[in-house]
């Protein structure tokens, strides 16, 4: 299979088949855990859209969705520590079961902020599903209730993850060659 942008990638970490299999497994577990409990999936824009759509289709309980956009990076080289809500929820989550859906957990600072932000809205519960996690980069303890894969401390793209708005449409998760972003600030997920 020809991979789009192949010349920009150093390693393919997870194939389309591996991703689909893992997402289906996560969907089955979430379905079992929320049996009889309507669920609100809250996707984090923009990167989680691909994962959110696939995960939602694999869940077999009543589910609705909403989206948030948050930002915590002042520059590419480091997190600013200040989180801004760029787009808030459209619906109330009070007394509802909330599942935050994230593409990648890097430092964990933004995710922890978002979990606290959701809990302040008095939901029945708040859990997290992340497609990817970089445990070596976590600066705070994060609770990932459902996790697709762990990735190394390298800059990864594909399946929603981008660099300069490119590579999101790759059906794989891959490591971007350093020369692609050389001379620029280090991208946020490195």
What residues are labeled active site?
Answer: 106
Contacts of 78 (CB under 8 A, 6+ apart): none
Can you say whether residue 167 is alpha, beta or left, with left for phi > 0 and alpha for psi between -120 and 50 degrees? left
Distance CA 163, CA 187 (A): 7
- Tokens 């080289």 locate to 77
Considering only CA atoms, which of 16, 19, 27 is closest in space to residue 101? 27
For residue 89, count CB atoms less than 10 angstroms from its CB and return exposed for 0-12, middle for 13-18, buried for 19 or more: middle
Residue 48 phi/psi, 5-degree rounding, is -80, -5
Distance CA 55, CA 131 (A): 10
């Amino acid at each position: 299979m020809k991979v789009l942008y192949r010349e920009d990638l150093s390693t393919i970490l997870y194939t389309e088949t591996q991703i689909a299999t893992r997402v289906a497994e996560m969907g089955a577990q979430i379905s079992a855990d929320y049996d009889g409990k309507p669920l609100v999936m809250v996707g984090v824009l923009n990167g989680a859209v691909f994962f959110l759509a696939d995960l939602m289709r694999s869940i077999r309980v009543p589910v609705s969705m909403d989206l948030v956009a948050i930002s915590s990076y002042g520059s590419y080289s480091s997190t600013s520590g200040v989180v801004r809500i760029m787009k808030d929820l459209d619906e109330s989550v009070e007394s509802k079961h909330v599942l935050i859906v994230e593409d990648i957990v890097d430092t964990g600072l933004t995710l922890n902020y978002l979990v606290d932000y959701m809990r302040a809205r008095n939901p029945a519960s708040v859990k997290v599903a992340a497609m990817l996690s970089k445990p070596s980069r976590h600066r705070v303890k994060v609770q990932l209730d459902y996790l697709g894969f762990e990735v190394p401390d390298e800059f990864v793209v594909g399946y929603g993850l981008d660099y300069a708005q490119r590579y999101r449409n790759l059906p794989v998760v891959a490591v971007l060659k350093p020369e692609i972003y050389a001379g620029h600030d280090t991208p946020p997920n490195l």
